[in-house]
């Protein structure tokens, strides 16, 4: 179910044959962009650190339309989403530090958990947060209330149960103090439930982030 064909502003508004041709071309562009992103045989989610200019161009094509009202994507957005395009995170790879973010959306789009795996100099672990996912017009609004870390492993650790250790309480307090609601709004630029692909924007950095549902 394609909820929005990401077409340039004003496209598909003209009448008659010209409108049909423009919409057809836009649809072809979306299909080609999705095919490029998902064409790797046996690969469930493209490697974020193997992204190429062609990947960036495909993501830009998908995100070229107007933002989608986040409430439109909410009903079918539950699942485990893995980020495969995040240029702002790749930019720190020159320091040898790598991140791999994932998001789990549940409760009919009302709850969200973020787990980011980090790796540097042979070390690694997880930084996690959980909270609610709300909507404001075209924006998804993430409100995290719990923060924790866990050590290296294939999967992140669960939210610690109270009473919290001194370290876990420290992480929780730092996370809550550092969380800025002003940075929690993410316009949804593309969403295709059937393909399991979404593109959303992080306005402060003008960054497009693309994720695939697994």
The pLDDT value given to residue 2: 38
Q: How many helices (H) and strands (E) does the chain have?
A: 5, 8
Residue 1 has pLDDT above 50, yes or no: no
Residue 162 has pLDDT above 50, yes or no: yes
Q: Examine residue 14 and state whether it is found in any structural domain, yes or no.
A: no
Q: Examine residue 119 and state whether it is found in any structural domain, yes or no.
A: yes
Range of the domain at 206: 66-213
The pLDDT value given to residue 38: 86
Q: Examine residue 36 and state whether it is found in any structural domain, yes or no.
A: no
What is the tally of structural domains in the chain? 1
Taking only the tens place, the pLDDT of each residue in 53-69 is 999 999 999 999 888 88
Q: Examine residue 159 and state whether it is found in any structural domain, yes or no.
A: yes
- The residues with which 204 forms a beta bridge, in sequence order, are none
Q: Examine residue 120 and state whether it is found in any structural domain, yes or no.
A: yes
137's tokens: 């017009």
Residue 16 has pLDDT above 60, yes or no: no
Mean pLDDT of all residues in 31-41:
85
User: Among 10-14, 47-51, 104-108, 184-188, which is the least confidently predicted range?
Assistant: 10-14
Q: Examine residue 45 and state whether it is found in any structural domain, yes or no.
A: no
**DSSP-assigned states of every residue in 81-129:** EEEEE-HHHHGGGGGT-EEEEEEEEETTTTEEEEEEEEEETTEEEEEEE
User: Among 91-100, 139-148, 156-165, which is the least confidently predicted range?
Assistant: 91-100
pLDDT band at 77, cuts 50/70/90?
A: very high
DSSP state of 162: S
Q: Return the CATH number at 171.
A: 2.40.128
The pLDDT value given to residue 26: 57
Task: Evaluate whether 68 touches 188 at the Cβ level (below 8 Å).
Answer: yes
């Amino acid at each position: 179910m394609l909820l929005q064909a990401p077409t340039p502003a004003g496209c598909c508004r003209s009448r008659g044959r010209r409108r049909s041709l423009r919409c057809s071309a836009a649809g072809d562009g979306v299909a080609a962009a999705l095919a490029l992103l998902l064409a790797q045989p046996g690969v469930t989610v493209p490697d974020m650190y193997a992204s190429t200019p062609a990947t960036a161009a495909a993501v830009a094509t998908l995100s070229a339309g107007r933002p989608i009202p986040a409430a439109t994507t909410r009903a079918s957005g539950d699942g485990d989403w893995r980020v495969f395009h995040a240029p702002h995170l790749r930019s720190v790879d020159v320091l040898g530090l790598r991140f791999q973010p994932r998001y789990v959306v549940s409760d009919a789009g009302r709850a969200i958990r973020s787990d980011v795996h980090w790796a540097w100099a042979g070390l690694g672990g997880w930084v996690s947060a959980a909270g609610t996912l709300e909507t404001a017009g075209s924006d998804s609004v993430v409100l995290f209330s719990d923060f924790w870390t866990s050590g290296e492993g294939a999967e992140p650790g669960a939210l610690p149960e109270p009473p919290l250790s001194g370290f876990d309480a420290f992480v929780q307090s730092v996370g809550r103090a550092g969380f800025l609601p002003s940075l929690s709004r993410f316009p949804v630029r593309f969403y295709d439930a059937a393909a399991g692909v979404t593109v959303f924007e992080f306005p402060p950095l003008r960054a497009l982030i693309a994720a695939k549902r697994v």
